Amino acid sequence: MELWVTEYQTPAIGFSCKSTETLRVEQTPFQHLSVINTEQFGKMLLLDGMVMTTEKDEFVYHEMISLVACNSHPQPENVLIIGGGDGGTLREVVRHPAVKNGTLVEIDERVVQASRDFFPSLACAFEDTKSQVLIEDGIKYVKEHKNCYDIVIVDSTDPVGPAVELFSKSFYENVFEVLKDDGMLVVQSDSPYYHPNVVQMAYNGIAGIFPLTKLYLANIPTYPSGLWSFTIGSKKYDPEKLMHEYDDGCRYYTRNLHRAAFNLPALVSKIIANGE
Ligand code: SPD
């Protein structure tokens, strides 16, 4: 019998994968977690029925959420990751030569454990000497720390369940405070095709606080519509301008793609200009 797993990306669109094996299904204290094996993308982690990462295309998201900021900040020494419990973003951050410390604050220990159990190529980051992994509420963490990070990366789920507040103005205000005077914030800001309202919410929330806000794009096959956005809020440096040219071993990110990713299709420019 064939087993197909579907993520309902909107009430009218589903993304289905043929599954060869169910590896884990559990309700954690925070969300529904599953790990399956798929014919097309290898192992896949889902939270609340949404695809978080897969073995075959994880590199796109993790390189793009990490390296754009790390290469555009002159001294990205201390980097804080909120969420990202699978470890993929941490892996990209700590391999950057200018980074001295990568701190991961993940609320759900079961996500970290699932990664340790099924995604060794992501979980390898947990053992890096530059890494620190804290099982804590990232929202509380940023309220309690001030002026200590060069970059904050919010590697959240989409704004449902525990991630809703990670898209709020008050959270962005606290992130502004946790950053040093020349710091940068990067968030994953959803699909311009399917969730333009989320793109706007993240962009406007950040632009209301940070002096410089820019959006960039990447193509991620397993995320809704394939076209995915990231938003950067910067206190000082222009995220389009390269201060480092580190792209060793990358499979998606290149220094040329860095610049290209900020060249937006007209429909996306219109969304962030609050058009329809
Ligand atoms: N639509 C899914 C967006 C998920 C973004 N975060 C994924 C976590 C991967 N480290």
Instruction: Please write the tens of the pLDDT for every residue from 61-108.
Output: 999 999 999 999 999 999 999 999 999 999 999 999 999 999 999 999
Cα 37 to ligand 1 centroid, rounded to whole Å: 18
> Quick one: pLDDT at residue 176?
98
Asked whether residue 276 carries a pLDDT value surpassing 80, the answer given is: no
Q: Give mean pLDDT, residues 261-274.
A: 96
Q: Whose CA is nearest to atom 2 of ligand 1?
A: 52
The protein residue with its alpha carbon nearest to ligand 1, atom 5, reads 157
Using left for φ > 0, alpha for ψ between -120 and 50, and beta otherwise, residue 8 falls in beta
Q: How far is the CA of 190 from the centre of ligand 1 (A)?
A: 9
Atom of ligand 1 nearest to the CA of 191: 1
pLDDT score recorded for residue 160? 79
Coil, helix or strand at residue 109: helix
Q: How far is the CA of 9 from the centre of ligand 1 (A)?
A: 13
Residue 158 alpha carbon to ligand 1 centre in Å: 7
Q: What angle do CA 95, 97, 103 make, to 5 degrees?
A: 55
Question: Of the residues 52, 190, 193, which should be mutated to test ligand 1's pocket, given the most ligand atoms within 8 Å of the CB?
Answer: 52
Q: Is 50 in the pocket of ligand 1 (CB under 6 A)?
A: yes
137 lines ligand 1 (CB under 6 A): no
What is the position in ligand 1's atom list of the atom closest to the CA of 62?
10
pLDDT for res 163 = 82
CATH classification of 3-53 is 1.25.40.10, yes or no? no
Answer yes or no: are the C-beta atoms of 152 and 82 closer than 8 Å.
yes
Q: Would the CATH topology of 3-53 be identical to that of 58-274?
A: no
Residue 275: its pLDDT value, please? 47
Instruction: Give the pLDDT mean for 242-250.
Output: 97
> Which pLDDT tens digit goes with each residue over 17-32?
999 999 999 999 999 9
72 and 63 Cβ atoms separated by less than 8 Å: no
Q: Tell me, what's the pLDDT at 39?
A: 96
Closest atom of ligand 1 to 155 CA is 6
**Distance of CA 142 to CAs 6, 132, 173, Å?**
35, 16, 10
Average pLDDT over residues 181-197: 97
Q: Please give the single-letter amino acid code of residue 138.
A: G
Report CA Rg, the chain. Answer: 17
User: Once rounded to an integer, what is the mean pLDDT over residues 180-207?
Assistant: 97
Residue of 244, 184, 171 lying closest to 214 (CA atoms)? 184
Q: Domain ranges in the chain?
A: 3-53, 58-274
Quick check: 139 pLDDT over 90? yes
User: For 176-195, what is the mean pLDDT?
Assistant: 97
Taking the C-alpha atoms of residue 264 and residue 241, their distance in angstroms, rounded to an integer, is 16
pLDDT for position 59: 98
Which amino acid is it at 102? G
Pull the structure tokens for residue 252.
């998606």
Please name the residues in contact with 201: beta carbons below 8 A apart, sequence gap of 6 or more. 159, 167
Atom of ligand 1 nearest to the CA of 65: 10
Query: DSSP string spanning 149-212?
Result: EEEEEEE--SSSGGGGGGGSHHHHHHHHHHEEEEEEEEEE---TTT-HHHHHHHHHHHHTTSSE
Q: Which amino acid is at 94?
A: V
Span from the CA of 162 to the centroid of ligand 1 (angstroms):
13
pLDDT of residue 161: 72
Helix, strand, or coil here: 263? Answer: coil
Query: Does any ligand 1 atom lie closer than 6 A to the CB of residue 112?
Result: no
Q: Among 135, 73, 62, which Cα is nearest to 104's?
A: 135
Q: Candidates 64, 107, 153, 155: which one to mutate for ligand 1, based on the most atoms within 8 Å of Cβ?
A: 155
Q: What is the CATH number of domain 58-274?
A: 3.40.50.150
Q: Which two tokens stand for residue 23?
A: 């590896």
Percentage of the chain modeled with pLDDT above 90? 95
pLDDT tops 70 at residue 135? yes
The whole-chain average pLDDT of the chain stands at 96
* Residue owning tokens 């399917």: 194
pLDDT for the residue 224: 97
Half-sphere exposure of 203 (CA within 13 A, CB side): 22
At 274, the pLDDT band (50, 70, 90 cuts) reads: confident
pLDDT score, position 168 = 93
List residues with catalytic annotation.
Answer: 155
Cα–ligand 1 centroid distance for 191 (angstroms): 11
CA neighbours closer than 13 Å in the CB half-sphere of residue 167: 21
Between 224 and 275, the higher pLDDT residue: 224
Burial of 243: CB neighbours in 10 Å, binned 0-12, 13-18, 19+: middle
